[in-house]
A and B are shown apart, each in its own frame.
Chain A
Amino acid sequence: MNWTQLLTDIAAIIAVSAPLIIATMGIYLSERAGVINLSVDGSMLLAGMTGFAVAYTTNSVVLGFVAAALVGGLIAALIAYLGVSLRISQTAIGFVLALLCTDLSSFLGNPYVQQTGPAVPAWSIPGLATIPVLGQLLFRHDAVIYLSLVLVPLIAWWMMRTRAGLIVRGLGERPDALFARGIDVIRWRYVMVIIGGVLIGLAGVAYTLDLKQGWTYRHIAGTGWIALAIVIFGAWRPWRILLGCYFFAALQTMASRLQDNTWQIPTQVLQVAPFVVMILVLAVVNSLGAPELQRWINRLPLPVRRMIRFLASPAPAALGQPFIQQ
């Protein structure tokens, strides 16, 4: 493999992972606030289909993105109402909505199958694009990919360095403590779930108007579940989630490369990898949290303990738990 080939590959990985990054950040925001949005796969399909349909009819990419954001936000608002206000099992409603939205996208999207619509235009950033190496890697893409590049640093900073971010982390860990300090837990959770849903919707339309342009039956089915897995793989930390997205995109690129040769491994086999890793991470992280092991870990020297704590950052403690106002 030569140098230019490698650069092209890395630039491709950065491009391909853009929708995944947007979706995982949406899931991250919602889960940090303590609410599981299990409908991601269906939400992305429905939002992606709607976005494509709107852009196709109006010939405006921007309107397509607005429509997709609305769809994602609306589904999330429904989840917030059912899961946060009515306190129905978030797993049950998320799962039903995932299936429902998938079928809805097939039904409503039927007239738009195989049509050619508008797409996000490529836009090299003037000046920056001419920088050797970096320019090719980062600055010769389009608006969606630039969004994916700035989203993670922005959200990481907001979550870890601002008061609002502190409140959101509290929502996922100790909502009762927040409530005692006069914070409206229910309203905050609504806001975070809806913002997350908007991002998930944008991720869906990022596929249909940009990276896998057009609409077909169950166009991008499966990516939502992958995004959910990557958030777990990233242990609910933004930078590790980003790493997970790039890792997964790299696996996919590698898979298609191997397929070109005589290997004959279908892409789908390598796509299994993130799920195996997800289960392993969950198993290791959660058993490290067990009291028996914790006692043993506490006897280890401090640097080792720090490293273990970094590797094993657990899920938000109140994830999926309904908040009952006392």
Chain B
Amino acid sequence: MKTQFVALRTPIIAMVVALTITAVLLLLAGADVFAAFGVLLTGALTTPSRIADMLMLLAPLLLCAVGLTMSFAAGQYNLGIEGQITVGGVAAMWFLRGYQDGAPVILYWIGAVLCGMLMGALWALLVALLKRYMRVSEIFAGLGFNFVALGLALYLVFGPWKRPGVASMSGTEPLADALWLPTVTGTRLTLVTPILAIMMLAIVWRLIRHTHWGLQVRACGLSALASVRMGVPATRRTLEAMALCGACAGMAGALQVIGVYHALVPNVASGIGLMGLLVALLVRADIRWVAAVALFFAVITSGSIQLPLTLSIDSSISGVLQGLIVLAIIVARARRGEEAA
């Protein structure tokens, strides 16, 4: 009982600190603090269509966070996740452009998602190979490839895949109506997206916690040198974990194209990967907490959209709150001596 309390005390103090700073910021902006927190927490849950929108944010976020939990378990900071989402979207769009009227739509959906996963995995593998064989830090390589992926998407949107007539940031020519994922009546929710996200969560959960493969990946993350001495093929496991993370991100990108934007837009990643990194930093390779934290982040992010409308407060406060929570928890762990660099 007592040890449980001690284990919980640090995150609770950290949460209180983060919430207090957020409250002070809201006060500075001249807002009603309690009303603002109320909107943040419940704004996404008031109507069915808002819940649907929240789920459509949660699904790709969960996919990214699940993938990143995998790569964190292997000890890799996959900052290239945004780029992996983007190329996933590009690959899906590439596949769907081959669609002719009357062709079996379901095959095109499956093909597009698989293409997205493959491309995302390759993009992540590129970073992992650069790190392993040319000692390029995965952090800078990942960041660099984010911009390269964005450049690729921009090139396609403004160049070969541009709308006939005028090219614009709003994206390529929309997909044929038949290719849009069906939505639940009256909302923007496509059921397939959250189902796939939960499926990936289950797969990665099983892999990390209940297989020999997962044990080896976690061993590489704790100490690559020690795991090599123990006969673990560390290079292979690290590359596999990164590729799996890229595949999750690529799937998210493909689903954004088929289910949300119905076209390739340059900003297909729209910061979801970065939010996924925050989730992953918070749970630290512990897959059990990923879904809960991702749900919390999705709720306050979607809820914050109501802030400018109801209280005329800028919606960025949700990002501030998320950042503060992650920072406070990291600091709290360090002060307790849990987390050395």
Contacts and interface: CB of A to CB of B under 8 A. Distances in A.
A108 B79 contact: no
Contacts of A88: 330-331, 334, 339, 341
Interface residues of B, number: 49
A321 B29 CA distance: 39
A272 B155 CA distance: 11
Contacts of B322: 99
Given A278-B140, A287-B135, A96 B330 contact: yes
B147 A271 contact: yes
B151 interface: yes
A269 B151 contact: yes
Interface string A255-289: 00000000011101101100110110011001101
A159 to B, nearest CB: 22
B316 A107 contact: yes
Given A88-B331, A322-B341, A100 B144 contact: no
Interface stretch (B87-95, B111-119, B186-194, B274-282): B274-282
A269 B334 contact: no
Interface in B275-310: 277-278, 281
B141 interface: yes
Contact residues on A (Cβ < 8 Å of other chain), bracket: 35 or more
B135 A279 contact: no
A290 interface: yes
Given A92-B330, A103-B316, A232 B140 contact: yes
Contacts of B330: 82, 88, 92-93, 96
B124 interface: no
B323 interface: yes
A41 to B, nearest CB: 10
Contacts of A107: 25, 29, 314, 316-317, 320
B274 A99 contact: yes
B106 interface: no
A104 B314 CA distance: 10
Nearest to B30: A111
A108 B25 CA distance: 8
Given A91-B77, A279-B130, A229 B278 contact: no
Contacts of A96: 278, 281, 323, 326-327, 330
A279 B314 contact: no
B140 to A, nearest CB: 6
Contacts of B340: 87, 322
Given A107-B320, A282-B137, A92 B144 contact: no
24 contacts: A86-B334, A87-B340, A87-B341, A88-B334, A96-B327, A97-B327, A100-B319, A106-B314, A106-B319, A107-B29, A107-B316, A108-B29, A225-B143, A225-B147, A228-B140, A229-B143, A278-B144, A279-B140, A279-B144, A282-B137, A282-B140, A287-B135, A290-B135, A322-B341
Q: Lowest 5 A-B CB distances belong to which pairs?
A: A100-B323, A103-B319, A272-B151, A106-B316, A286-B135
